[in-house]
Chain A
Amino acid sequence: MNTGEKTVTDSTALLEINGVDKTFGGVRALKDIDLHLEKGSITGLIGPNGAGKTTLFNLITGIFPADRGEIRFDGRPVKGCRVHELVKLGIARTFQNVELFESMTVLENILVGLHSRTKCGIIGSIFRFPGVTNEESRAMSRAMELLEFVGIQQYAHRKSSDLPFGWQRLLEMARALAAEPRLLLLDEPAAGLNMSETLELEELIKQIRGHDVTVLLVEHDMSLTMSVSDRIAVLDQGKKIAEGTPRQVQSDEAVMAAYLGKAKK
């Protein structure tokens, strides 16, 4: 039934961005962006600095609203949802400059990541009802599983700021996964990583997809983006100039112009 409608709204898309505009004090950071993310896919978002990639991330995660257009997550408009509500719905992210809770241990960072999947409030914490103790021990074992998943379980009790940078990135990713996201936004996860760490990251991203998580990836490391993404969207000066498979995008003239500075038509 109702098949006529379905051609308009793509039923397999987890995230639909339709005609989104964003202006900051006269600068149009994003112009009429359309982007659909298939469930279980990995999409790479590339473009020169200032192209609007991080702005798009901030719109999707509810940090600020779009001026025009619509963003739907799992068929539901995200407009008016606050950041933590979107996390609860299933959108998690990492940050370009790794934002860990530095006063806390590695394990505690993950436990905070489980915040949206646990319930204990102030009253519960004071009286330590049986349910609270149970939840706490379940959270603890789940946190250890996540640390094992990214391979840093042996540093669980170190202070998070004492970890080498590459592991801080892994920790941040594990923290995002703790929220059990259906959509994971990775903002330049390979920045600051060396070659072998980048390869491990690639493996990890592929494994994450195996857990039914849709991934949107902003990345400057082209070889990583090309090899890991199913589709790639290219932004330049707030506009989407190309979208397609990695192969299609690589041979696209507009993309070459944006990156190599060829004179535009």
Chain B
Amino acid sequence: MNGGLQKILYVVFVAAVILLGVTIDNSYYLQMLIFIGLNTLLALSLNMLMGYAGQISLGHAAFYGIGAYTTAVLTATYQVPPLLSLPAAVGAAMMVAWIVGIPTLRLSGYYLGMGTLGFGMIVHIVFREWSSVTGGASGFVGIPPLTAGPLTIDSEQHYFYLVWALVLLSIIMCRRIIDSRVGRALRAIHDGEGPAAAVGINTKKLKLQVFVLSAGMAALAGFLYAHLIYFISPGTFGFMTSIRIVTMVVIGGMASIWGSLFGASLLTLLPEWLHSFSDFEMVVYGLILMSVMIFLPRGLTRGLLDIYEHWRKNRDR
């Protein structure tokens, strides 16, 4: 994408966030928007790994959970200030990703999917069974709100701004990586690992680096989630969440930064809208996802852009 359009998108993004923050004071809607932000972070993190580098992860919720549980234990059990538990939470997830990534990323395709799936399940079981630390299946209660010195962020409005500021920073960060030498190398690995190595890319090292980065971003989302809800339980970080993150990436558009935002928005809002279908909720949900994949296989963003291009060409003729 060219620089001009990119800048316009950033301005629109910031304007939209401020506008929503100023006009909406209904706490349910703010909560929804905060969740869209968290899911965008998750989708973005997986998109770097899956959309750009072409490495699937079916256990991404594990890193989300490691971020949440690390800060929960540190701030609630050990009274560490959240400002210090943030690097610890992100760092812990990155460390785990590094250790797990070395053997796992030797796999590819379905096998990598199975490997990460297994990893996600193990982490989920640890959250559930290590009761003395994590609170077990009934969850972890009493996580304090975010504080930074004398400042406490406990109003939804402020949390909304904080989350979306971090989303913006993450988008800029990912964009910059993608548009650099590193990003080109990642896309090269996606197109073919053999040729990528043949032009001098250390594929093993780069895959591990992006896996670690991706885990860190997911852990950031987990950190924010824990201090938003004050309560976490293993169910939030299970297999279904991992699948939901994959779906956000695929529906939004693989290898599309703004696609992650659309995918996360749709998958967060859709279940809310579909409540009116009551019993048929899951059926309609499934139908919508299926139709997106059948009619817009490149995801929402690319798909809609393609339709627009097509319409413009027809009009010009």
Q: Which residues of A contact B (CB under 8 A)?
A: 61, 63, 82-84, 87-88, 92-93, 95, 99-104, 108, 111-116, 118-122, 124-126, 128, 132, 135-136, 139, 175-176, 178-179
B109 at the A/B interface (Cβ < 8 Å)? no
Q: Which residues from chain A contact B183 at a C-beta distance below 8 Å? A: 125
Known A-B contacts: A101-B195, A135-B181. Give 7 more (CB < 8 A).
A61-B198, A103-B190, A104-B187, A111-B181, A112-B201, A114-B181, A116-B199
Partner of B197, one of A83, A113, A125: A83
Q: Is the Cβ of A120 less than 8 Å from the Cβ of B184?
A: no
Q: Is the Cβ of A132 less than 8 Å from the Cβ of B194?
A: no
Shortest distance in angstroms between A220's beta carbon and chain B's nearest beta carbon?
Answer: 22
Q: Is the Cβ of B181 less than 8 Å from the Cβ of A125?
A: yes
> In the complex, A131 Cα to B197 Cα: how many Å?
25
Q: Is the Cβ of A120 less than 8 Å from the Cβ of B188?
A: no
Q: Which residues from chain B contact A128 at a C-beta distance below 8 Å? A: 176
> In the complex, A218 Cα to B190 Cα: how many Å?
28
B191 at the A/B interface (Cβ < 8 Å)? yes
Find the A residue at minimum CB distance from B54. A103
Q: Is the Cβ of A112 less than 8 Å from the Cβ of B209?
A: no
Question: Among the interface residues B173, B176, B209, B210, which one has the most CB atoms of the partner chain A within 10 A?
Answer: B176
Shortest distance in angstroms between B51's beta carbon and chain A's nearest beta carbon?
Answer: 11
Given contacts A111-B184, A125-B183, contact A116 B200 (CB under 8 A): yes
> In the complex, A135 Cα to B181 Cα: how many Å?
10
B177 at the A/B interface (Cβ < 8 Å)? yes
Find the A residue at minimum CB distance from B184. A112
> In the complex, A122 Cα to B209 Cα: how many Å?
8
> In the complex, A168 Cα to B191 Cα: how many Å?
15
Q: Which residues from chain A contact B255 at a C-beta distance below 8 Å? A: 103
Q: Which residues from chain B contact A116 at a C-beta distance below 8 Å? A: 199-200
> In the complex, A192 Cα to B86 Cα: how many Å?
57
Q: Is the Cβ of A102 less than 8 Å from the Cβ of B181?
A: no
Partner of A103, one of B191, B199, B200: B191
Q: Is the Cβ of A113 less than 8 Å from the Cβ of B180?
A: no
Contact with A along B214-250 (1 / 0, CB 8 A): 0000000000000000000000000000000000000
Q: Is the Cβ of B181 less than 8 Å from the Cβ of A88?
A: no
B58 at the A/B interface (Cβ < 8 Å)? no
B202 at the A/B interface (Cβ < 8 Å)? yes
Q: Which residues from chain B contact A132 at a C-beta distance below 8 Å? A: 180
Find the B residue at minimum CB distance from A111. B184
Sorted nearest first, the 8 A-B pairs with minimum C-beta distance are A116-B200, A125-B180, A87-B200, A99-B195, A83-B197, A101-B191, A120-B181, A112-B188
> In the complex, A125 Cα to B178 Cα: how many Å?
9
Shortest distance in angstroms between B213's beta carbon and chain A's nearest beta carbon?
Answer: 6
Q: Which residues from chain B contact A61 at a C-beta distance below 8 Å? A: 198
B12 at the A/B interface (Cβ < 8 Å)? no
> In the complex, A82 Cα to B210 Cα: how many Å?
20
Q: Is the Cβ of A126 less than 8 Å from the Cβ of B177?
A: yes
Contact with A along B49-78 (1 / 0, CB 8 A): 000000000000000000000000000000
Q: Which residues from chain B contact A118 at a C-beta distance below 8 Å? A: 181
Shortest distance in angstroms between A135's beta carbon and chain B's nearest beta carbon?
Answer: 8
Shortest distance in angstroms between B87's beta carbon and chain A's nearest beta carbon?
Answer: 16
B31 at the A/B interface (Cβ < 8 Å)? no
B203 at the A/B interface (Cβ < 8 Å)? yes
Partner of B200, one of A84, A95, A122, A124: A84
Q: Which residues from chain B contact A121 at a C-beta distance below 8 Å? A: 182
B94 at the A/B interface (Cβ < 8 Å)? no
Q: Is the Cβ of B180 less than 8 Å from the Cβ of A84?
A: no
Find the A residue at minimum CB distance from B206. A122
> In the complex, A108 Cα to B191 Cα: how many Å?
13
B261 at the A/B interface (Cβ < 8 Å)? no
B171 at the A/B interface (Cβ < 8 Å)? no
Given contacts A83-B197, A93-B198, contact A125 B187 (CB under 8 A): no
Q: Which residues from chain A contact B210 at a C-beta distance below 8 Å? A: 122
Given contacts A111-B181, A122-B213, A125-B177, contact A104 B191 (CB under 8 A): yes
Shortest distance in angstroms between A14's beta carbon and chain B's nearest beta carbon?
Answer: 18
Shortest distance in angstroms between B67's beta carbon and chain A's nearest beta carbon?
Answer: 19
B42 at the A/B interface (Cβ < 8 Å)? no
Q: Would you give 10 A-B contacts (Cβ < 8 Å), ordered by A? A: A84-B197, A99-B194, A101-B192, A108-B187, A119-B181, A122-B177, A126-B176, A132-B180, A136-B180, A136-B181
B105 at the A/B interface (Cβ < 8 Å)? no
Partner of A139, one of B181, B182, B192, B209: B181
Q: Is the Cβ of A104 less than 8 Å from the Cβ of B184?
A: yes
Partner of A101, one of B173, B188, B200, B213: B188
Q: Which residues from chain B contact A100 at a C-beta distance below 8 Å? A: 191, 195
Partner of B198, one of A83, A111, A124, A136: A83
B251 at the A/B interface (Cβ < 8 Å)? no
B185 at the A/B interface (Cβ < 8 Å)? yes
> In the complex, A250 Cα to B303 Cα: how many Å?
58
Q: Is the Cβ of A102 less than 8 Å from the Cβ of B173?
A: no
Question: Among the interface residues A112, A120, A132, which one has the most CB atoms of the partner chain B within 10 A?
Answer: A112
Shortest distance in angstroms between B160's beta carbon and chain A's nearest beta carbon?
Answer: 25
